[in-house]
C-alpha cells in the first residue's frame, strides 16, 4: 500500500511511504491520477489529457531528506508566488496536517517526523534552502 504523507497540486510531488501491497505503487498512482484528471475535467467541463508527462519516482532513503521534501512540497506555492502564506494554498496537505479534521494524510507520522505540531509549523515558517533538493529532484 502507498500512503501519502504530503502533497501540493502545483508541484507534482508526493511524499509517500511504501508498504507491502497487493498492487504495485505505479498502478495505485495510475488510479490516483486517473481519478484526479476525471474530477478536474468534470469540474471544468473539459475532456482530454491533463497530465502531460508521466510521473517519476525517487527512492528516499534518509528520514531527514524526507522531512526536507515535505517542507519543499508545502513551500512550493510560496516559491511560485501563488500565495504569501502556506495556509492560504487550499490544494496543499499542510492545512490537513495541522487541523484536527479527518484526512487520508498520515498526519501522526508526519508530525512525529517534526517531533510535534508546533515544531512542524515552526519549521514551515523558516526560510528554506532548496537548491540541493531541486538538483536531487532534477528540476
Boundaries of every domain in the chain: 1-139
Confidence tier at 39 by pLDDT (50, 70, 90): confident
Confidence tier at 55 by pLDDT (50, 70, 90): low
Q: Residue 138: enclosing H or E segment and its boundaries?
A: none
Count of beta carbons in the 10 Å neighbourhood of residue 15: 24
Residue 128 confidence (pLDDT) above 60? yes
Residue 12 confidence (pLDDT) above 60? no
Count of beta carbons in the 10 Å neighbourhood of residue 136: 13
Residues 38/30, Cβ–Cβ less than 8 Å: no
Query: What is the mean pLDDT of the segment spanning 1-23?
Result: 54
Residue 105 confidence (pLDDT) above 70? yes
The per-residue pLDDT for 69 is 86
25: exposed, middle or buried (C-beta count within 10 Å: 0-12, 13-18, 19+)? middle
Among the listed residues 10, 22, 13, the one whose alpha carbon sits nearest the alpha carbon of residue 2? 22
Residues 98/120, Cβ–Cβ less than 8 Å: yes
The per-residue pLDDT for 22 is 56
Query: What is the mean pLDDT of the segment spanning 55-75?
Result: 81
Instruction: Return the bridge partners of 17, or none.
Output: 3
**Sheet strands (E) in 9-108:** 13-18
Confidence tier at 13 by pLDDT (50, 70, 90): low
Amino acid at each position: 500500500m502507498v500512503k501519502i504523507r504530503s502533497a501540493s497540486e502545483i508541484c507534482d510531488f508526493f511524499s509517500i511511504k511504501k508498504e507491502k501491497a497487493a498492487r504495485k505503487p505505479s498502478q495505485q498512482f495510475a488510479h490516483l491520477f486517473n481519478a484526479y484528471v476525471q474530477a478536474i475535467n468534470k469540474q471544468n467541463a473539459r475532456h482530454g489529457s491533463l497530465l502531460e508527462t508521466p510521473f517519476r519516482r525517487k527512492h528516499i532513503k534518509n528520514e531527514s531528506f524526507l522531512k526536507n521534501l515535505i517542507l519543499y512540497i508545502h513551500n512550493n506555492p510560496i516559491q511560485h508566488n501563488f500565495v504569501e502564506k502556506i495556509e492560504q494554498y487550499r490544494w496543499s496537505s499542510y492545512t490537513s496536517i495541522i487541523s484536527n479534521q479527518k484526512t487520508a494524510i498520515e498526519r501522526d507520522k508526519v508530525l512525529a517526523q517534526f517531533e510535534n505540531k508546533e515544531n512542524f509549523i515552526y519549521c514551515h515558517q523558516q526560510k528554506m534552502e532548496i537548491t540541493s533538493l531541486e538538483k536531487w529532484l532534477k528540476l
